[in-house]
Amino acid sequence: MKSPISDANLEKLAAVSINTGLNLKKGQPLVITAPLNAQPLVRKLTEQAYKAGASLVTTIYTDEADTLARYQYGSDESFDVAPGWLFEGLGKAFTDGAARLAVAASNPMLLAEMDADKVSRANKAQSIAAKPAMQPIVTFQTNWNIISYPHVEWAKLVFPNVSEDEAMQKLADAILKISRVDGPDPVAAWAEHDEALHKRADWLNEQNFSALKYTGPGTDLTLGLADGHKWVGGSKVARNGVRCIANIPTEEVFTTPHKDRVDGTVSATKPLSYNGTLIENISVRFEHGRIVESSATKGESVLKKVLETDEGAARLGEVALVPHSSPISQSGLLFYNTLYDENAACHIALGQCYSECFDNAIKTDPEKVKASGGNESLIHIDWMIGSDKIDIDGIKQDGSTVPVFRKGEWAS
Amino acid sequence: MKSPISDANLEKLAAVSINTGLNLKKGQPLVITAPLNAQPLVRKLTEQAYKAGASLVTTIYTDEADTLARYQYGSDESFDVAPGWLFEGLGKAFTDGAARLAVAASNPMLLAEMDADKVSRANKAQSIAAKPAMQPIVTFQTNWNIISYPHVEWAKLVFPNVSEDEAMQKLADAILKISRVDGPDPVAAWAEHDEALHKRADWLNEQNFSALKYTGPGTDLTLGLADGHKWVGGSKVARNGVRCIANIPTEEVFTTPHKDRVDGTVSATKPLSYNGTLIENISVRFEHGRIVESSATKGESVLKKVLETDEGAARLGEVALVPHSSPISQSGLLFYNTLYDENAACHIALGQCYSECFDNAIKTDPEKVKASGGNESLIHIDWMIGSDKIDIDGIKQDGSTVPVFRKGEWAS
C-alpha cells in the first residue's frame, strides 16, 4: 500500500504519536486499533513502539469493505450484534497496563446511503459492547493517543474541487501541519503548545466559575459547570503514572457542564457530520440541562434520533474552549472528523461526560461524578458553537463576571 | 490489493470454506484470523458468511511486517510476551458459539534469518497464551475451518525456477485444484470425497487395531494406538451439533497413538519446514513411546530443540494415513505448509493429541484422554513418513495382522 505521506514524515508522525502522544514506557504493551487503509502508518507506529521499548504491539484492524458487506448481505438481526468478546479483551489489556493507540482514518460517508435504522442499531450495539474497552480509556487508567491518517474518500470530501491524488496530498499536508509535525522539531513544538494549554486550564481552575455565559448570533446560553469540575487541556497524567497527550491534534481546554444547569439557546457554527449525514444549522433550546427544542435545516430527523438515544443524550457531557485563531479553524476546512473539527472551535458535546474533568476526590467514584452533575449516556457527540462572533463570560461563585472570550479569542 | 485468483474462483473458494468447510449456521457469529495479504479472500469470505446468515463477521489480521519489526527493534524481553487478552477473547467467542475460520497464507521463511532462540521463545509464549483460544478448537466445541491463500514468498519457495508472477499463478492454481474447487461443482466433489474418507475411517474403526506396523526404507516401527481411539476423517459433527470439514484440503484419516507404546525406527520421507528451517532426512528411534535417538542431515539442532520443548514433545499425538496417490502427493511439490504437506503422505505428529480421536465416553474428559494414552504438549508438529515404498499392517487385539497399506496405497 503506497502512503500519501513520505517515509520521513510518516516516521515523524509515528514518533510524535508514540513518544509525545502516548509517551510509551519501556516494557509497556501497546494495542493499536486502525482501519486497513492506515497500514503504512501502523507499520511505522509499530517500529517506533518497539524502538521505544514496547513489550508487544498488537494491532486490531477493521476493513470498511467488511462493514459494507454486512449492510449489503447481512440479515436484519445482524445489526443488533457486536463483538463483545473483543471489547472485553481490549478492556483487559488496557486495565492490565497496555497503552492504547487509535488511528482515526475512515470514510466519513461510508454509511451515508445505508438504512438509517440499521446504522443506528449497529452503533448502539457497538457502543454497549464497547463499554469494557472504553471505560479504562475515558477514566484514563492507561496512557492513550488518537492520531489521523489520510483516507481517499475523506480527502475527496474535504477537498471536493481537485483531483483525487491532489486531495490526498492536501489532506496529508493538512494532517502533518495540524498535528504539528511539519516543523524541524515536533517534540519541542508540542512541549511549547502543551505548556500554553496548561496555562489556560490553570487560569480557568483558579477562577472556579460556576457557569459560562455565551452570547452571539443565535446563541444566548447559560451553561452551568459541574460541582468540583476541573478544566483540563494538553497532556495529563494517566492513573498508571504516565503523562500523555491523548489527542493529536489538540487545541482545547475543556471541562464538565452540570447536566441539570444549562439554560437558553445555542446555534451550531459548523455542520455536524454524523455517520455520513451532514446535520446543518443546528439550533437547540435547553431547560434545566435538557434540550427541549431542536431544529436543523438539514438532517433534522437524524438529530432528533440522536437526542432520543437515551436519557443522557439530550444533555451535555463536555464544554470546550478553542480560540478562533486555532490552526484548524484558520485552515477554513470542514474535516468531517471529530478529532479535527472539535479542535477548530469552541464546542459542546451531547452525552457522556469525562470523569477526568473532576477533582481527584470525585473522579475515581462514578457515584460522586453523577452526584456532582456529570452526565451519562451511550453517546458523546461534539458540535461546534464557536466563531469569531462569540463572547463568553465566566460567572464566578459570587455572581460577578469575568470576560473569557471576546470575538472568538481568549479575552486575556 | 490485487488477487492472484480470479474473482469468480475466489468466490468459489470462499463459498466452499463457508458452506462446506464451516457449514456456517444462520445467526452464527464468525471469527476469521488471517494475514493481511489474504485480504481479497477475507473480503469474499465475509460476503459469503453474511449471505449464509452470519450474525457478525470479525477478522483479526496479522501483519508479517509488524512481526519482523519486533525482531528488528524489539527488546530482548519482548520475546517472552504474547497477547493473552486476545486469545482469551477468542476462546470466549468460540465457547459462546462463534465459528472459527483461519486463513493459512504466510511466508514459511519469514523468520528463517532471525535469532533461533528468540523465535523459539516467542513461539512458546504464543503457544501458552493461545491455549484458551485453541482449546475449544482442538476439542471441536465449535465448527471450524482452515483454508489457504497464495503468498508471494511462499509461491517463490514452492516454484523457485519461474518468475514471481508465474509462481503466484501456479500456487493459486494448485490451491484451487487441491482444495477441489477447480471443477464445475465443488460442493458435489466435496460430498463424494467426504464419503470416501468416512468409509476408510469406518473400516479402521471396525478392525479396532491395537497397533500399526510400518515397514519401509529406514522404517521399522510398531505404533501402538491409544485405548478407545477412534479413526476420523473428512467431516465431523462439532459439539455444537454442526457438521464441518475442518481442513481444506483434507486427505487423511487419523487417530491417536498411545503415548507410551511406540517402538522402533522411522525415517521421514519429506523435509520438515519448521519456522523457516528445513529439517532434512529426519530419523528417530522410539522406546516406550519416547524418542530416544534423533538425527537429521540438516537442521538437526532445531529438531533437537523442538523435542525438548516439554515432556510430551518427544512423543506422538497423531497418526494419519494418506495414500501416495493423493492429489498433493501427485503434484510432487513440497508446500512448506502443514495444511498441504500433511495431506500429501502418511504422517505422524509430535506433541498434543486430538481428544476428538477417542470414543465419546473418553473424549469429553481430559483425565480419561490422558489415562487412555493421549499425549499432551504445547507443540503439534506433523512430519511425513509415507511414500510408495511403505507397507503398513494392522495388528488386531488377538495378535493377527491385516494389510492396511501396500506400497503407499490402501491395501483393499
What is residue A350's three-state secondary structure?
Answer: strand
Tell me the three cell numbers of residue B138: 482442538
**Is residue B178's pLDDT more than 90?**
yes
**Is residue B150's pLDDT more than 80?**
yes
pTM: 0.89
Average pLDDT over residues A374-384: 93
Put simply, the answer to whether A72 touches B42 (Cβ < 8 Å) is no
A388 CB-near residues (< 8 Å, 6+ apart) = A324, A407, A408, A409
Q: Does A63 touch chain B (CB under 8 A)?
A: yes
Q: Does A43 touch chain B (CB under 8 A)?
A: yes
Asked whether A63 and B59 are in contact (CB, 8 A), the reply is: yes
**Is residue A201's pLDDT more than 80?**
yes
Residue A244's H or E segment, with its range, is strand A243-244
**Is residue B274's pLDDT more than 90?**
no
Put simply, the answer to whether A27 touches B69 (Cβ < 8 Å) is no
pLDDT value of position B412: 87
Distance from C-alpha of A208 to C-alpha of A202, rounded to nearest angstrom: 10
Q: Let me know how many helices (H) and strands (E) chain B has, helices first.
A: 13, 21
Distance from C-alpha of A166 to C-alpha of B96, rounded to nearest angstrom: 48
By C-alpha distance, the chain A residue nearest B92 is A85
pLDDT value of position B337: 85
By C-alpha distance, the chain A residue nearest B51 is A73
User: What would the DSSP string read from start to end of A319-387?
Assistant: EEE--TTSHHHHHT---S-HHHHTTTS-EEEEEPPPGGGB-HHHHT-HHHHHHTT----S-EEEEE---
The number of C-alpha atoms within 13 Å of A81 and in the hemisphere containing its C-beta is 23
What is residue B215's three-state secondary structure?
Answer: strand
Distance from CA of B232 to the nearest CA of A (A): 32
Average pLDDT over residues A31-54: 97
**Is residue A50's pLDDT more than 90?**
yes
pLDDT value of position B364: 85
Using the 8-state DSSP alphabet, how is residue B306 labeled?
Answer: H
By C-alpha distance, the chain A residue nearest B35 is A61
Residue environment code for A66-92, b if the CB has 16+ CB neighbours within 10 A, otherwise e: bbbbbbebbbeebbebbbbbbbbbbbb
For residue B207, the one-letter residue type is: Q
**pLDDT-derived band at A3, boundaries 50, 70, 90:** confident
Phi-psi group of B288: left, alpha or beta (phi > 0 → left; psi -120 to 50 → alpha; rest → beta): left
**How confident is the model over B205-224, as pLDDT tens digits?**
999 999 999 999 999 999 99
Put simply, the answer to whether A54 touches B78 (Cβ < 8 Å) is yes
Task: Please name the residue that has the C-alpha cell 452570547.
Answer: A215
Residue B263's H or E segment, with its range, is strand B257-267
**Is residue A275's pLDDT more than 90?**
no
Task: Please name the residue that has the C-alpha cell 479553524.
Answer: A329
**Is residue A117's pLDDT more than 70?**
yes
**Is residue A2's pLDDT more than 90?**
no
**How confident is the model over B23-69, as pLDDT tens digits?**
999 999 999 999 999 999 999 999 999 999 999 999 999 999 999 99
Put simply, the answer to whether B85 touches A85 (Cβ < 8 Å) is no
Tell me the three cell numbers of residue B32: 476469521
Instruction: Please give the share of chain B, as a percent, with pLDDT higher than 90.
Output: 87
Mutation for B interface: A7, A11, A25, A46, most B CBs within 10 A: A46
For residue B73, the one-letter residue type is: Y
Distance from C-alpha of A49 to C-alpha of A72, rounded to nearest angstrom: 37
pLDDT value of position A33: 98
For residue B343, the one-letter residue type is: N
Q: Would you tell me the crossing angle of helices A84-95 and A116-138 to the nearest 10 degrees?
A: 20
User: What would the DSSP string read from start to end of A38-61?
Assistant: GHHHHHHHHHHHHHTT-S-EEEEE
pLDDT value of position B169: 95
**How confident is the model over B66-106, as pLDDT tens digits?**
999 999 999 999 999 999 999 999 999 999 999 999 999 98
Mean pLDDT across chain A? 95
Structural domains of chain A, with CATH: 7-178 (3.40.1830.10), 208-230+251-410 (no CATH)
By C-alpha distance, the chain B residue nearest A31 is B83
Put simply, the answer to whether B75 touches A27 (Cβ < 8 Å) is yes
**How confident is the model over A5-32, as pLDDT tens digits?**
999 999 999 999 999 999 999 999 999 9
**pLDDT-derived band at B278, boundaries 50, 70, 90:** confident
A170 CB-near residues (< 8 Å, 6+ apart) = A155, A158, A159, A162
Residue environment code for B302-322, b if the CB has 16+ CB neighbours within 10 A, otherwise e: bbebbbebeebbbbbbbbbbb
Distance from CA of A302 to the nearest CA of B (A): 25
**How confident is the model over B363-397, as pLDDT tens digits?**
889 999 999 999 999 889 999 999 999 999 999 99
List the alpha helices (DSSP H) in A208-331.
Answer: 300-307, 327-331
**How confident is the model over A339-367, as pLDDT tens digits?**
898 899 999 999 999 888 999 999 889 99
Residue B229's H or E segment, with its range, is none
Tell me the three cell numbers of residue A34: 486502525
**pLDDT-derived band at B139, boundaries 50, 70, 90:** confident
**Is residue A331's pLDDT more than 80?**
yes
Distance from C-alpha of B155 to C-alpha of A369, rounded to nearest angstrom: 59
**pLDDT-derived band at A263, boundaries 50, 70, 90:** very high
Put simply, the answer to whether A75 touches B50 (Cβ < 8 Å) is yes
- Output helix, strand, coil percentages for chain A, rounded to the nearest 5: 40, 25, 35
**Is residue A1's pLDDT more than 70?**
no
Mean pLDDT across chain B? 95
**Is residue A276's pLDDT more than 80?**
no
Q: Does A7 touch chain B (CB under 8 A)?
A: no
Distance from C-alpha of B185 to C-alpha of A202, rounded to nearest angstrom: 72
Mutation for A interface: B11, B26, B56, B88, most A CBs within 10 A: B56
Q: Does B26 touch chain A (CB under 8 A)?
A: yes
On chain A, the residues whose CB falls within 8 A of the CB of B53 are 75
On chain B, the residues whose CB falls within 8 A of the CB of A142 are none
**Is residue B1's pLDDT more than 70?**
no
**pLDDT-derived band at B266, boundaries 50, 70, 90:** very high
Put simply, the answer to whether B66 touches A59 (Cβ < 8 Å) is yes
